[in-house]
Copies of this chain bind each other. A is one copy, B any other.
Amino acid sequence: MVITSLENERVKKYRKLHEKKYRDRWGMFLVEGEHLVLEAYKAGIIEEVILTNETNCALDVPKVYVTEEIMKKISQLDTPISILALCRKQVQEKNKMGDKLLLIDEVQDPGNLGTILRSAKAFHVDTVVLGSRSVDLYNAKVLRSTQGMLFHLQVIEADLLTIIPELKKKNIPIYGTRVEAGDDVRTLSATAKTKYALVVGNEGNGVSKEVLSLCDQYLYIQMDSSVESLNVAVATSILLYELDRGEK
């Protein structure tokens, strides 16, 4: 059976998931396109896939068929797609945070957040802590930019002002990022990289003052003095790349 009406209860539910409010309330979200659906499948979080009637899908999950018109209304991206999945948020275990952490203070561009998460997985971060004022993790553009890496990464949402003191008790050094002062990340010793919590901040304003004041050390990336700053996803990725290296 193919759903043809926007008034269908399932369709209404999917479309409500465009809003963070409902994603939070139901613990559910949508992922769009073949690649992301496959990554969600590997992570075992799919409840059902939503397909147009011409689409083949060999995945062993419940299937819901809709018309192309309905698909366009369920999708939040500009590029037309033929498959979506309804997914359940993973429960993250806060007591297993590991000792390589990335703390995100207030990143607001979905593309930047997604790109950062992809790099966090690439450079062996154990847990990402997403501060309360950042863009929603389950925003369609964030998910697309992660290229599905979100499903293979532990991400916790928490207040950084609460989590940093807990990390300090575990003797994890807190590295802040500031453009104007601190240590060149290249000069960090291998020991200084064995455990860390790297804090990165907002696109325009950087890490907030309260959070910065809790950091143990500040890191910067050496660059041409005429350039004020790098894109936040680029800066974060270079720092994580350096922290992932052993002795120089």
Contact = CB atoms under 8 A, between A and B. Distances in A.
Nearest to A147: B228
A227 B111 contact: no
Contacts of A115: 231, 233-234
Contacts of A121: 224, 226-227
Interface stretch (A17-25, A130-138, A207-215, A237-245): A237-245
A60 to B, nearest CB: 22
B152 A234 contact: no
A23 to B, nearest CB: 22
B122 A223 contact: yes
Nearest to A224: B122
Contacts of A234: 115, 118-119, 233-234, 237
A221 interface: yes
Nearest to A234: B237
B122 A227 contact: yes
A119 to B, nearest CB: 6
A123 B241 contact: no
A149 B227 contact: yes
A124 B224 CA distance: 7
Given A115-B234, A118-B227, A186-B245, 17 more contacts: A118-B230, A118-B231, A119-B231, A121-B224, A122-B223, A123-B223, A123-B224, A124-B224, A147-B228, A149-B227, A221-B241, A233-B233, A234-B234, A234-B237, A238-B238, A238-B241, A248-B248
